[in-house]
C-alpha cells in the first residue's frame, strides 16, 4: 500500500541498487492524447517516490522529463524521456513519458517496443480522444492501467469516461478506485476530494495544502460509502470471475459467496492475472495537478503491470527458443551466457556525446565487453554503461535482463543505430567466438518501424562554406530521430528534410538553428509526394570481370507479397514501405564461403536500395514507395573480397538500370491520406461538412454524437453491450453530455482526406465554427492522386 511508501519518504531517499530482482522491475510507458496530463503525472510520481524534492510544473516549464529547451518553451513533450525510480522501497520503475502530439508518434512506437506495460492517462472532461484510441491500438498486447485524470475540472465525468474506455478501446474494466466529492461551501458545486479504494475498502482524501498528507478512512457498514462499495466490489468480482477460476473457488468456498469477504491480496492477485492476460484494464482516477490519486496509481503499476519475466517475449528473426527462468530472466537458445539487447533511442548529450538507450532482453550487458551488432555485422567494445534519471546519469557496471540503460563511448556511437540488435557473451569479455554463428550471432530482434514522412522542406546552408556543417548537423538530428529523413536531389543539389508533420519540421528547424548552431535556411513546409510502380522490371545476371554476379528485379509490393516464399529473407528498408528480398537466404545450409558476413552484405544491399529508390520516380522524380528490390538467388562476390563498397555501387547501378526499363506510364504519384476526426456543434455541422466534402475532397466515414457510443465506426458490438451492463457510479460533476442541449450538442465527423487539403484547415475550421470546433489528424496511408488533382499538384511542387 502506498501509505507505507509515504511513511518511508522522509527516511529513505537513496538510489536503488542496480541489482534489483528482475521480478521487481517494471518497464512502463505513459501514453495518452496530447495534454491529458502525462508529464504532470510523471512529475508527481517522481516526487512521491522521493526521486525529486520539489514538484515541477509543465506550465512553468520546469519539469524533469520535459528538459529540452523547445519542450519547456512550448509546454509539450517532444521526445520520450526515460527515468528510473523506486516505489515501496523495493520495486524499480523504469518509466518513459511519451509525447501526445501525433507528429511525434515515432517516439511512442519506439518506446512501446521496449516497454512491458503502460499507464494510459485520460482527461476526465474530454474522455477517450482520437490520439488515445491510436496509441491504445499501437500498444496492442501490452497490459495497461488507465488513469482518469483532471477529476478536479468542471465537467469531469468519471463514469462517462470509463464507459467510453470499454466501448471505444474495447476492453473490460476493473474499477480499482472511484472519485468522491464534497460540496463547495459557497457554490454547493461538487469538489473532487479523494477516492474510494474498492480493493482496500478505504476512502483516501488528499490535503490541498500538503501533497504528502493523505487521510485514510476504513469503510465500514455504517459508512455513507458502504452500499456504493458493495456494488463496486460485486461488479469487480463478477468481471474477475469471467476469467479467474481460482477466484471463483475462493469466493464460493472461503468467502462463502460474500463480496466483501474477499481479502485485499486475493483481489490484487486476480486483478493482476486479468491485466497481464489483457482481459481487463484496471481503472483509477485523480487530479495530478492537485497531487491527488498518484500514489494509488504507482501502487497499481507495481501490483498489476508485468515484470520483464511476465512480459511479451521479443519478436526475433529465427526460430530459436526463448525461455524464462525466475532466476536468470529470459534465456535465448538455451544459452545462459548469451546476452541480447536492442537499441531503441539515440541522443547526443553535450557532455557525454552520443548515448544509446538499450533494453536488455536476455543475459547481462557488461561495460568493457566486446559486443556484436547483428543488424550491421559490426564488432566493437562497449564503454561505460549508465542508467538515466531524465537528464542525470548514474554509472552502473552491468545492465541485466529486463533493464533499460544507456551505452556511451566513441566506439558505440559509430556502431549502433536505433533498432539494432546487440549480442554478446555475458561472462567472457571477448567471448563472441564461443557463440553460435547463425543462431546466436545472426539473431535479430525485429526492427522498429518508422512511419512515413508526410511533409518536407528544402534546407540549404547560408554560405557554401557551411555545407559540411549543415550535413553533419542534419545527420546528428536524424540519428536521434529516424522519423526525420533527408534526401538530396542529385541534379539540382537541393537537400530536402522530411518529417511527420509541420510541428515536427518546425522543431527540427529550431534544433538545427539553436541547439546544433547550424547556419541554415529552411524553406516552406510542403506535403511529401511519392511515386510507385505498377509493373516489374529486371536486370539479369550482371557479371563483372572481378567476379561479382547479381540478378535484380524491382517489383510493386503487392506483386512481391503475392509470391512470398518462406525461404526468402525480407528486410524492411525502414522507409516508404519499401523492402529488400534476398531469395533463398534462409536455406543456405552450407558453410559461409565469403570473407564478409551475410549481415554486412545485407546492410550494403539495404543502403544501395534506399539510395536507388530515393529519386527514381519518372513522373516528377519523387521517391519510390511500396516497391521491393529482389536479389535473385545465385548471386556471388569474389571469395577474397573484404569490403562491401563494390556491392553497394554495383547493386545501386543495377536498380537504376532496372527501373529505367519502365515507361513513365508505369509509374503513379501517391499522396498522404489522413484520417481526421472533427468535433463541432450540431449547428455548425452543415458548413463544416460542406467544406470537407467540397474544397477538401474528404471521404466521410461517419458522423456520431461525440459521446454517443451507439454509432461509432470503431465501437465493437460486444463491448458496447459490456459497456451498457457495466455498473458505474453516478457522475457527481455535470458531465459534458448533460450540459449540452440538442442545439449545441457536439458531433464528431470522421473522414479520410488528402493531407494537401488539410494544410490550413485549423484557420478554416475556426472561422466556420466561430472558434468552437476542434480536430485531430493522423496518418492513414499513401494513395494514388486522382487524375483531376494531379496537374495542380505537379505544377505547384
The annotated binding site for GTP is made up of: 32-39, 97-101, 149-152
* Nearest CB to ligand GTP, comparing residues 511 and 530: 511
CA distance 342 to 361: 8
Region of residue 281 (left: phi > 0; alpha: psi -120 to 50; beta: else): beta
25-32/117-123 β-pairing: parallel
CB of 285: closest distance to ligand GTP in angstroms? Answer: 10
CB of 621: closest distance to ligand GTP in angstroms? Answer: 37
CB of 123: closest distance to ligand GTP in angstroms? Answer: 8
List phi, psi (to 5°) of 593: -85, -15
CB of 301: closest distance to ligand GTP in angstroms? Answer: 17
* Nearest CB to ligand GTP, comparing residues 99 and 617: 99
* Nearest CB to ligand GTP, comparing residues 121 and 674: 121
* Cβ proximity of 552 and 696 under 8 Å: no
* Cβ proximity of 668 and 622 under 8 Å: no
List phi, psi (to 5°) of 514: -95, -35
Q: 608: number of CA atoms within 13 Å, CB side?
A: 24
Residue 186 in grid coordinates: 459557497
* Cβ proximity of 454 and 493 under 8 Å: no
* Nearest CB to ligand GTP, comparing residues 60 and 218: 60
CB of 104: closest distance to ligand GTP in angstroms? Answer: 9
* Nearest CB to ligand GTP, comparing residues 132 and 677: 132
* Nearest CB to ligand GTP, comparing residues 288 and 650: 288
Closest chain position to ligand GTP (CB) = 100
CA distance 579 to 627: 7
DSSP bridge pairs for 331: 323
Region of residue 97 (left: phi > 0; alpha: psi -120 to 50; beta: else): beta
Q: Could you tell me which residues are annotated as the binding site?
A: 32-39, 97-101, 149-152
CA distance 331 to 402: 11
Q: Is 480 helix (H, G, I), strand (E, B) or coil?
A: helix
- CB within 8 Å of 263: residues ≥ 6 apart: none
* Nearest CB to ligand GTP, comparing residues 58 and 354: 58
CB of 758: closest distance to ligand GTP in angstroms? Answer: 20
- CB within 8 Å of 107: residues ≥ 6 apart: 78, 79, 80, 98, 99
Residue 546 in grid coordinates: 572481378
CA distance 358 to 399: 9
CA distance 289 to 556: 51
* Nearest CB to ligand GTP, comparing residues 96 and 280: 96
Q: Please report how the helices 158-169 and 130-138 are oriented relative to each other, as an axis angle in degrees rounded to 10.
A: 50
* Nearest CB to ligand GTP, comparing residues 77 and 415: 77
CB of 161: closest distance to ligand GTP in angstroms? Answer: 13
Q: Which of 367, 429, 359, 427 shows the shortest CA–CA distance to 398?
A: 367
| Residues found near ligand GTP in the complex (CB under 6 A) | 32, 34-40, 58-59, 75-77, 99-101, 149-150, 152-153, 287-290
Query: What distance, in Å, lies between the first and last C-alpha atoms of the chain?
Result: 61
CB of 780: closest distance to ligand GTP in angstroms? Answer: 21
Amino acid at each position: 500500500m502506498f501509505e507505507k511508501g509515504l511513511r518511508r519518504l522522509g527516511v529513505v531517499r537513496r538510489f536503488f541498487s542496480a541489482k534489483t530482482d528482475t521480478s521487481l522491475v517494471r518497464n512502463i510507458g505513459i501514453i495518452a492524447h496530447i495534454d491529458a496530463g502525462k508529464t504532470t503525472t510523471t512529475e508527481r510520481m517522481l516526487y512521491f517516490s522521493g526521486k525529486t524534492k520539489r514538484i515541477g510544473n509543465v506550465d512553468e516549464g520546469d519539469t524533469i522529463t520535459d528538459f529540452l529547451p523547445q519542450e519547456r518553451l512550448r509546454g509539450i513533450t517532444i521526445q520520450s524521456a526515460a527515468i528510473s525510480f523506486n516505489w515501496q522501497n523495493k520495486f524499480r520503475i523504469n518509466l518513459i513519458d511519451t509525447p501526445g502530439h501525433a507528429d511525434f508518434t515515432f517516439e511512442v512506437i519506439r518506446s512501446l517496443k521496449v516497454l512491458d506495460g503502460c499507464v494510459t492517462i485520460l482527461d476526465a472532461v474530454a474522455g477517450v480522444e482520437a490520439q488515445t484510441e491510436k496509441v491504445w491500438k499501437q500498444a496492442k498486447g501490452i497490459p495497461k492501467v488507465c488513469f482518469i485524470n483532471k477529476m478536479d475540472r468542471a465537467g469531469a465525468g468519471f463514469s462517462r469516461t470509463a464507459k467510453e474506455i470499454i466501448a471505444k478501446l474495447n476492453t473490460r474494466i476493473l474499477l480499482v478506485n472511484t472519485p468522491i466529492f464534497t460540496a463547495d461551501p459557497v457554490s454547493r458545486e461538487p469538489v473532487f476530494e479523494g477516492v474510494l479504494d474498492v480493493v482496500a475498502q478505504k476512502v483516501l482524501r488528499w490535503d490541498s495544502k500538503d501533497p504528502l498528507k493523505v487521510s485514510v478512512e476504513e469503510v465500514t457498514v455504517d459508512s455513507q460509502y458502504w452500499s456504493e462499495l458493495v456494488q463496486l466490489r460485486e461488479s469487480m468480482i463478477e468481471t474477475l470471475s469471467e476469467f479467474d477460476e481460482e477466484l471463483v473457488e475462493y469466493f464460493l468456498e472461503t468467502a462463502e459467496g460474500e463480496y466483501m469477504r474477499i481479502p485485499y491480496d486475493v483481489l490484487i492477485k486476480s486483478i493482476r492475472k486479468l491485466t497481464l492476460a489483457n482481459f481487463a484494464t484496471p481503472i483509477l482516477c485523480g487530479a495530478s495537478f492537485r497531487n491527488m490519486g498518484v500514489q494509488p496509481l504507482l501502487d497499481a503499476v507495481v501490483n498489476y503491470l508485468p515484470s520483464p519475466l511476465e512480459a511479451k517475449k521479443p519478436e526475433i528473426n529465427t526460430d530459436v527458443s526463448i525461455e524464462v527462468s525466475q532466476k536468470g530472466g529470459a534465456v535465448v537458445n538455451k544459452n545462459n551466457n548469451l546476452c541480447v539487447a536492442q537499441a531503441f533511442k539515440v541522443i547526443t548529450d553535450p557532455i557525454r556525446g552520443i548515448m544509446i538507450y538499450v533494453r536488455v532482453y536476455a543475459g547481462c550487458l557488461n561495460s568493457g565487453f566486446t559486443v556484436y551488432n547483428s543488424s550491421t555485422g559490426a564488432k566493437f567494445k562497449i564503454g561505460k554503461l549508465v542508467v538515466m534519471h531524465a537528464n542525470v546519469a548514474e554509472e552502473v557496471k552491468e545492465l541485466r535482463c529486463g533493464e533499460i540503460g544507456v551505452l556511451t563511448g566513441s566506439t558505440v556511437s559509430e556502431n549502433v543505430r536505433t533498432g539494432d540488435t546487440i549480442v554478446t557473451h555475458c561472462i567472457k569479455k571477448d567471448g563472441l567466438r564461443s557463440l553460435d554463428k547463425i543462431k546466436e550471432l545472426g539473431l535479430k530482434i525485429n526492427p522498429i518501424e518508422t512511419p512515413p514522412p508526410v511533409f518536407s522542406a528544402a534546407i540549404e546552408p547560408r554560405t557554401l562554406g557551411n555545407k559540411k556543417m549543415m550535413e553533419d548537423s542534419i545527420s546528428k538530428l536524424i540519428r536521434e530521430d529516424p522519423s526525420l529523413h533527408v534526401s538530396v536531389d542529385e541534379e539540382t543539389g537541393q537537400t530536402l528534410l522530411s518529417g511527420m508533420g509541420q510541428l515536427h519540421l518546425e522543431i527540427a528547424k529550431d534544433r538545427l538553428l539553436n541547439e546544433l548552431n547550424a547556419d541554415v535556411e529552411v524553406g516552406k513546409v510542403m506535403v511529401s509526394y511519392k511515386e510507385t510502380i505498377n509493373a516489374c522490371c529486371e536486370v539479369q545476371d550482371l557479371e563483372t570481370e572481378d567476379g561479382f554476379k547479381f540478378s535484380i528485379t524491382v517489383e510493386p509490393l503487392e506483386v512481391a507479397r503475392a509470391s512470398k516464399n518462406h525461404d526468402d529473407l525480407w528486410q524492411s528498408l525502414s522507409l516508404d514501405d519499401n523492402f529488400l528480398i534476398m531469395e533463398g537466404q534462409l536455406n543456405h545450409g552450407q558453410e559461409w564461403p565469403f570473407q564478409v558476413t551475410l549481415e554486412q552484405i545485407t546492410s550494403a544491399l539495404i543502403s544501395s536500395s534506399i539510395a536507388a529508390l530515393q529519386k527514381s520516380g519518372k513522373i516528377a522524380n519523387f521517391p519510390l514507395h511500396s516497391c521491393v528490390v529482389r536479389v535473385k538467388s545465385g548471386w556471388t562476390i569474389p571469395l577474397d573480397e573484404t569490403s562491401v563498397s563494390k556491392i553497394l555501387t554495383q547493386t545501386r547501378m543495377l536498380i537504376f538500370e532496372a527501373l529505367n526499363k519502365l515507361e513513365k506510364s508505369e509509374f503513379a504519384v501517391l499522396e498522404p491520406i489522413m484520417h481526421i476526426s472533427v468535433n463541432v456543434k450540431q449547428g455548425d455541422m452543415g458548413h463544416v461538412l460542406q467544406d470537407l466534402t467540397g474544397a477538401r475532397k474528404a471521404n466521410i466515414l461517419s458522423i456520431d454524437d461525440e459521446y454517443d457510443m451507439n454509432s461509432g465506426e470503431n465501437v465493437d458490438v460486444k463491448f458496447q453491450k459490456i459497456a451498457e451492463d457495466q455498473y458505474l457510479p453516478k457522475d457527481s460533476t455535470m458531465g459534458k453530455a448533460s450540459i449540452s442541449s440538442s442545439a449545441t450538442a457536439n458531433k464528431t465527423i470522421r473522414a479520410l482526406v488528402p493531407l494537401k487539403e488539410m494544410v490550413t484547415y485549423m484557420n478554416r475550421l475556426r472561422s466556420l465554427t466561430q472558434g468552437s470546433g476542434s480536430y485531430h489528424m493522423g496518418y492513414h496511408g499513401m494513395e494514388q492522386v486522382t487524375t483531376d488533382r494531379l496537374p495542380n499538384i505537379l505544377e505547384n511542387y
